[in-house]
Amino acid sequence: MRLNRTIRRRGIGGLTDSQRWFLRHGPGLMNGAPFPFESEPEARQVWRAHSAALMADSRPGSRPCGFWRYELRMFRTVPSFWRGLGILIDRGLIDATEAARLEHDLRELSPDPGTYCQSYDSAALIAENTSSHVDHDPRLLMESIEHFETAARWHAWRGRPEAAERWARRVEVVRMCIVASD
């Protein structure tokens, strides 16, 4: 029996800390710790037994690693929040309660976001309103693309074509800024 299997058990139904961590966050953040199960089939079986409790601990719009790994069989690690949310939207895996919570918690998904992210409506506004470190690191703008694409998909899914178009235009503006900075 492996040493990591002897870690004190607590919390969700007898899972070790390392097993719970793995099923929530995946292997990427385990800092070289060994795989906390005897095999992948055992990990899948443990996920199935504990998935409801692990899913209940997730923030709206996100899912634990076990979901991505064993339910959708898409990723071996957890995708970024915005990429994951986009996949959940595309697959119809967001229910009305979760959608309402997301729209309450995230202004970009709200039916009325006010002036949120208006500084991305044109290249001139981006240049005027973003800090100077963005000029030197276009990766920061690249992260905005995934975020804004997901917001556009969200609004299209929620039947708000005007909002979807506004977010899609912001994606194109950010892409133009990235090309211009090369």
Query: What does the alpha-carbon distance between residue 96 and residue 94 come to, in Å, rounded to a whole number?
Result: 7
CB atoms within 10 A of CB 3: 7
Q: Quick one: average pLDDT of 11-39?
A: 82
Can you give the pLDDT at residue 77?
Answer: 75
Given a cut of 70, is residue 148 above it in pLDDT?
A: yes
Given a cut of 90, is residue 49 above it in pLDDT?
A: yes
Can you give the pLDDT at residue 4?
Answer: 42
Mean pLDDT score of the chain: 85
Can you give the pLDDT at residue 56?
Answer: 93
Torsion sign (Cα): 66, 68, 71, 76: negative
Nearest to 40 by CA among 66, 14, 18, 10: 66
Share of residues in the chain with pLDDT > 90 (%)? 57
CB atoms within 10 A of CB 14: 11
Which pair of structure tokens corresponds to residue 23? 């099923």
* Model confidence pTM above 0.85: no
Can you give the pLDDT at residue 12?
Answer: 54
Confidence of residue 27 (pLDDT cuts 50, 70, 90): confident
Can you give the pLDDT at residue 92?
Answer: 96
Q: State whether residue 38 is helix, strand or coil.
A: coil
Given a cut of 80, is residue 109 above it in pLDDT?
A: yes
Query: What does the alpha-carbon distance between residue 73 and residue 67 come to, in Å, rounded to a whole number?
Result: 8
Can you give the pLDDT at residue 128?
Answer: 74
Can you give the pLDDT at residue 152?
Answer: 97
Contact status, residue 36 vs residue 24, Cβ threshold 8 Å: no
Q: Which residues of 111-147 are buried (b: 16+ CB within 10 A; e: fewer)?
A: eebeeebeebeeeeebeeebeeebeeebeebeebbbb
User: Where is average pLDDT lowest: 10-24, 29-43, 121-135?
Assistant: 121-135
Nearest to 139 by CA among 170, 182, 173, 109: 182
Given a cut of 60, is residue 6 above it in pLDDT?
A: no
